[in-house]
């Protein structure tokens, strides 16, 4: 097993400093060095610096070292040589300014080695210039070489655009590992692929098939909010991450090594954080687990989240709380940091099949096999509304979800031939019928909605998917999606891609 690479924090600062310097953001560059006390100490070409010193190109030398943090004793040697050569050229005023006004000479040398400072000052007042006396038997060229050698050891050369190069290499590695979405477009700042600007359109053809086997069929499947992953939870306890472009397992390191996220019982539900980084799963034994999707690490376990199976699980918008519903007739909120159950909502008389956050997280909506939808105050757990679609309180409600364009509206799927759009007070805004009677197996089992809310998709007992237009209110397309009973369906967050999964052990992906 390879060891993690250790990265010095100071090197990260230097990479940022180099980026600032290369892009002429000099004020920010100097402020960063001052605040962090970490200097860049790089030059584009150390050979050029050495050559400039040896040839006495002092303007270029001073410009190059102006942003470097060099030992003061070596700066003093440099400034002394420059002063001497200025005297030789009879540039006395400039030499005197360097001696008196620069920090290394006018402050440090004058205070700590006044004898040397006075010797240099006396050179300024001499009427004649004798190199043998000034260089104490040496030469100007030799002194320049000594200074060039000393300064070259204090600076480093870094390839240009080093920060951008490293980022590019990291992205290339992630792409090779299958951790980036297919395609070249990628939002580096947010860490995800930009949303595709597709017009909503209903599916008409089967694109991919993922085969599990009847004894390991998926009980739940969900696309991540950023569109990178399709994750399934199976009756055998496995949680797997799929590449929906290929229909194969995503090339994540732990999956490539045959290591998986797992429960010791059937996984009944899944939910993502808003950023798509973390996953929550619930199983038939009442347990929930929180995972880091890229590593497969289990970050938190709730061994007794419910007394019976967990039917749904949703993160709060901030990712710190988890909402769950269960066969035990309750809805609960769990704290990710504390690991404790924070709220319990009691009132349903049968299985809770779905629960979601509504009204910006201030309320919770839940639906049950008792035929009701309940709206709860998220803080007090008080039930503020109870209603049923079409006043059919004897018909089990399978799922609810908020509409993309209006979070105050619910898409309601109950075991009837009608899918409803309702508000949080129980009003029916729209309804969509399969056109079939119960004896014709026209009752809906599951439904989903397109990213822009323009299409409603319901799958019925007859194994058909019914595609309804929100704009016209009409049934526009019907197609068969399985030979066996469909368990569930989900829509990609910003592409025309739908998955359906059945108890025959197959997950199908559908496109226009």
CA distance 103 to 352: 75
Q: What are 241's two structure tokens? A: 């991450």
Q: What is the DSSP letter of 105?
A: I
Predicted local distance difference test score (pLDDT) of residue 176? 56
Q: What is the DSSP letter of 187?
A: B
Q: What are 345's two structure tokens? A: 């909502």
Return phi, psi of residue 85, to 5°.
Answer: -70, -30
Q: Say which residues have a Cβ less than 8 Å from residue 10's Cβ, sequence separation at least 6.
A: 36, 38
Can you point out the beta strands (E) in 200-245?
Answer: 205-211, 218-223, 230-234, 238-243
Q: Under the phi-then-psi rule, with left for phi > 0, alpha for psi from -120 to 50, and beta for the rest, what region is 216?
A: alpha
Predicted local distance difference test score (pLDDT) of residue 130? 83
Q: What are 15's two structure tokens? A: 């990479």
Which residue ranges of the chain lie beneath pLDDT 50?
A: 1-3
Residue 366 has a CB neighbour count (10 Å cut-off) of 25
Predicted local distance difference test score (pLDDT) of residue 421? 97
Task: Give the HSE-up count for residue 186: Cα atoms under 13 Å, Cβ half-sphere.
Answer: 16
Predicted local distance difference test score (pLDDT) of residue 3? 45
Predicted local distance difference test score (pLDDT) of residue 68? 82
The packing angle between helices 26-36 and 9-22, to 10°, is 160
Return phi, psi of residue 408, to 5°.
Answer: -95, 5
Tokens 């609960």 map to which residue? 332
Query: 432: which strand partners?
Result: 419
H or E element at residue 21:
helix 9-22
CA distance 147 to 62: 13
Q: Are 241 and 250 in contact (CB under 8 A)?
A: yes
Predicted local distance difference test score (pLDDT) of residue 173? 67
CA distance 443 to 41: 72
């Amino acid at each position: 097993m390879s060891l993690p690479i250790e990265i010095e924090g100071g090197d990260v600062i230097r990479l940022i400093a180099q980026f600032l310097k290369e892009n002429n953001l000099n004020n920010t560059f100097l402020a960063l060095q001052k605040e962090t006390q970490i200097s860049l100490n790089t030059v584009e070409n150390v050979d050029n610096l050495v050559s400039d010193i040896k040839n006495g190109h002092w303007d270029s030398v001073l410009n190059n070292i102006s942003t470097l943090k060099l030992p003061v004793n070596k700066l003093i040697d440099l400034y002394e040589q420059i002063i001497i050569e200025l005297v030789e050229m009879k540039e006395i005023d400039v030499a005197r300014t360097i001696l008196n006004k620069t920090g290394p000479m006018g402050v440090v040398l004058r205070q700590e080695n006044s004898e040397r400072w006075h010797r240099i000052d006396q050179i300024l007042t001499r009427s004649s210039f004798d190199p043998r006396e000034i260089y104490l038997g040496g030469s100007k060229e030799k002194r320049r070489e000594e200074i060039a050698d000393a300064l070259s050891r204090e600076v480093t050369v870094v390839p240009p655009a080093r920060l951008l190069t490293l980022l590019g290499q990291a992205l290339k590695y992630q792409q090779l590992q299958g951790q980036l979405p297919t395609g070249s477009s990628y939002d580096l700042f947010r860490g995800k692929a930009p949303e595709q600007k597709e017009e909503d359109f209903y599916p008409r053809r089967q694109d991919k098939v993922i085969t599990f086997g009847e004894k390991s069929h998926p009980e739940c499947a969900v696309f991540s909010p950023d569109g990178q992953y399709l994750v399934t939870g199976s009756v055998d306890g496995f949680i797997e991450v799929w590449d929906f472009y290929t229909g194969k397992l995503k090339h994540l390191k732990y999956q490539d090594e045959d290591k998986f996220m797992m429960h010791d019982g059937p996984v009944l539900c899944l939910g993502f954080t808003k950023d798509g980084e973390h996953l929550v799963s619930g199983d038939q034994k009442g347990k929930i687990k929180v995972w880091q999707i890229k590593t497969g690490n289990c970050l938190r376990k709730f061994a007794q989240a419910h007394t019976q199976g967990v039917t749904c699980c949703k993160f709060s918008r901030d990712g710190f709380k988890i909402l769950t519903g269960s066969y035990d007739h309750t809805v609960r909120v769990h704290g990710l940091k504390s690991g404790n159950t924070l709220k319990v909502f009691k009132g349903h008389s049968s299985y809770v099949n779905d629960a979601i956050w509504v009204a910006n997280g201030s309320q919770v909506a839940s639906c049950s096999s008792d035929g009701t939808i309940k709206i709860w105050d998220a803080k007090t757990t008080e039930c503020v509304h109870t209603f049923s679609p079409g006043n059919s309180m004897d018909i089990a409600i399978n799922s609810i979800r908020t509409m993309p364009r209006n979070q105050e509206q619910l898409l309601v799927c109950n075991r009837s031939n009608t899918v409803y759009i309702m508000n949080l007070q129980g009003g029916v805004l729209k309804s969509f019928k399969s056109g079939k009677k119960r004896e014709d197996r026209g009752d809906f089992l599951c439904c989903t909605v397109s990213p822009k809310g323009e299409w409603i998709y319901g799958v019925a007992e007859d194994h058909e998917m019914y595609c309804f237009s929100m704009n016209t209110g009409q049934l526009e397309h019907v197609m068969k999606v399985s030979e066996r009973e469909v368990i569930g369906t989900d829509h990609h967050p910003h592409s025309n891609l739908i998955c359906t999964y059945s108890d025959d052990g197959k997950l199908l992906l559908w496109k226009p």
